[in-house]
């Protein structure tokens, strides 16, 4: 499993990691520090992704509305 591979990557030295929880703290901190540079770009892209998804839903609702309206006008 992926979890086992991640824990094996950090080794099995009981002096350094007395418990599995200690390894997860190291994994989290290394992940956060390595991705810290990318966080502003990720946060800048999130609204655009949200608007893109919302735009698709809006277009679908608008098409349904226009079909309903055109059937009422006939």
Say if residues 60 and 54 touch (Cβ distance below 8 Å): no
pLDDT digits (tens, 9 = 90+) for 17-30: 667 677 778 888 88
Query: pTM for the complete prediction?
Result: 0.39
pLDDT in tens, 47-74: 888 888 888 788 888 888 888 888 877 6
Q: What is the band of 13 on the pLDDT scale with cuts at 50, 70, 90?
A: low
Q: Are residues 51 and 65 in the same domain?
A: yes
Residue 49 shares a structural domain with residue 73: yes
Q: Where in the sequence is the domain holding 22, given as residue range(s)? A: 1-36
State the greatest distance between any 2 C-alpha atoms of the chain, in Å, as a whole number: 80
Which residue stretches of the chain are H helix? Answer: 2-9, 20-35, 39-73
Q: Which band of pLDDT confidence, cut at 50, 70 and 90, is reported for residue 36?
A: confident
Q: How many domains does the chain have?
A: 2
Confidence (pLDDT) at 45: 93
């Amino acid at each position: 499993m992926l979890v086992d591979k991640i824990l094996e990557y950090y080794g099995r030295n009981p002096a350094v990691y007395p418990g599995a929880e200690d390894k997860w703290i190291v994994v989290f901190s290394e992940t956060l520090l390595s991705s810290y540079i990318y966080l502003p770009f990720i946060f800048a892209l999130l609204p655009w992704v949200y608007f893109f998804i919302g735009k698709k839903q809006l277009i679908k609702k608008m098409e349904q509305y226009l079909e309903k309206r055109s059937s009422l006008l006939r």
